Amino acid sequence: MRLSRFYLPILRENPKEAEIVSHRLMLRAGMVRQMSAGIYAWLPLGHMVLRKIEQIVREEQARAGAVELLMPTLQSADLWRESGRYDGYGKEMLRIQDRHERDMLYGPTNEEMITDIVRRDIKSYKDLPFTLYHIQWKFRDEIRPRFGVMRGREFLMKDAYSFDLTEDDARKSYQKQFVAYLRTFGRMGLKAIPMRADTGPIGGDLSHEFIILAETGESEVFCHKDLVDLPIPPEDTDFDGDLSPIMEERTSLYAATDEIHDAQRFEAEVPEDKRLSARGIEVGHIFYFGTKYSDPMNAVVQGPDGKEVQLQCGSYGVGVSRLLGAIIEASHDDNGIIWPEAVAPFKVGLINLKSGDADTDAACEDVYGKLTGAGVEVLYDDRDERAGGKFATMDLIGLPWQLVIGPRGLKSGVVELKNRATGEKEELSLDAALSKLIG
């Protein structure tokens, strides 16, 4: 992508409304703009990262055997009356009346709707088990939206729902999502720690939050230090095999959010030098809740013995749009964002130090063609701007590599390659730079 043809409105000043660094940087880097309180437009740069994150989520859901569908944003209130959650959900639910005065709502989550979908078509235990998920916009009418996309009102969530015949099977489905989450967040360069958590309005008796440690986190968390640096499960993990050892390794050491933290247990179980108490950002939350919805909504199948059995269910959420903020909170410096390569909007920022200079333009065009031809995503700053401004923009938007080409270097046959994360700069031949980036 040529910057002259992209849409990247950089802000020089720190916007006043932004209280935390991720919000500030997302505004300054031209990634989002607030359209109403807690409602954001995703400008091209932000949208690209959103799609990268979505894609990782999607790949890991598929690996775990979950199948994607897409439910609508608006729901009928009747479904929520059936489950009994309509009245209790409070003002965070955005209630709507259509032109025929039917009660609707903008879905904050989809347990009721997916249960309705499944109960219509699934009649036999032979059709089980399965896990369905979608990535769709949700709405929670927060009284005081803040922190940019971290606590917005309209937000993008991946929510998966598992359907099983028995509690044992349901726990296996839970394990699959648990392991998928470790891989999902790990691939994004995040250290997400699963912690025992309160089940809140979703309900159920088994639940984990996936927490990223960050000073700006909204909740206090407590865990054993050894949990922080555990490796992520490998790509060839057999999701049809026994996942208990992975889950065991992650859940046998103490880790809990403040709602259910037990200080006495923490001190008894964790040696003092291993006790970590910190602030964290929730990026995922998973629940096993059995028949909490299948019971009132009569979602049943015929079991092997011919008798009706209520479906055993769980739900599994990832805060997709929130993850952008969380990743930036975990990965930035004074000059801007530092994208982990897996979610970077482009891998390389190509800086033309003297746009208009025939040789430099030709060299840049050549490199741009070769990199994009090799499938490397490049943002080429081809604008007629001062070098200082170009460097500052590239640092701000945080692409993993900056390739700098100018007339002086070209004369001696070298270009400069900068690693955004480490700040290391290297002078090398154009070919060496290309082969490093194409890999």
Q: Which residues bind a second copy (CB under 8 A)?
A: 5-7, 9, 30, 33, 35-37, 39-44, 46-47, 50, 65, 67-76, 91-92, 94, 96, 98-99, 102, 104, 106, 113, 116-117, 120-122, 130, 132, 134, 137, 139, 141, 143, 153-154
φ, ψ of residue 220 to 5 degrees: the values are -90, 140
In the complex, least distance from residue 225 CB atom to a second copy, rounded to whole angstroms:
39
CA 86 to chain centre: 28
Q: Between 43 and 433, whose beta carbon lies closer to a second copy?
A: 43
Q: In which region does residue 203 sit, left (phi positive, over 0), alpha (psi from -120 to 50) or beta (all else)?
A: left
Rounded to the nearest whole angstrom, what is the least distance from the CB of residue 113 to a second copy in the complex? 6
Decide whether 297 or 430 has the Cβ nearer to a second copy.
297
The CB-of-208 to a second copy minimum distance in angstroms stands at: 25
* Cross-sheet strand order for the sheet of 425-428: 378-381, 348-352, 401-405, 415-419, 425-428
Residue closer to a second copy by CB (options 64, 417) is: 64
Min dist. Cβ of residue 364 to a second copy (A): 18
Handedness of CA 227, 230, 232, 233 (dihedral sign): negative
**Do residues 136 and 156 lie in contact, with contact meaning Cβ atoms separated by under 8 Å?**
yes
3-state secondary structure of 58: helix
Euclidean distance between CA atoms 379 and 207, whole angstroms: 42
Describe the crossing of helices 358-373 and 430-438 by its angle, rounded to 10 degrees: 30
Judged by CB, which is closer to a second copy: 73, or 251?
73
Cβ of residue 167: shortest distance to a second copy, in angstroms?
A: 21
What residue has token string 């309209």?
A: 154
CB of 111 to a second copy, least distance (A): 14
Quote the least distance from Cβ 305 to a second copy, whole Å. 20
CB nearer to a second copy: pick between 22 and 131? 131
In our burial notation (b when 16+ CB lie closer than 10 A, e otherwise), range 112-124 reads bbbbbbbbeebee
Identify which of residues 127 and 248 has a Cβ nearer to a second copy in the complex.
127
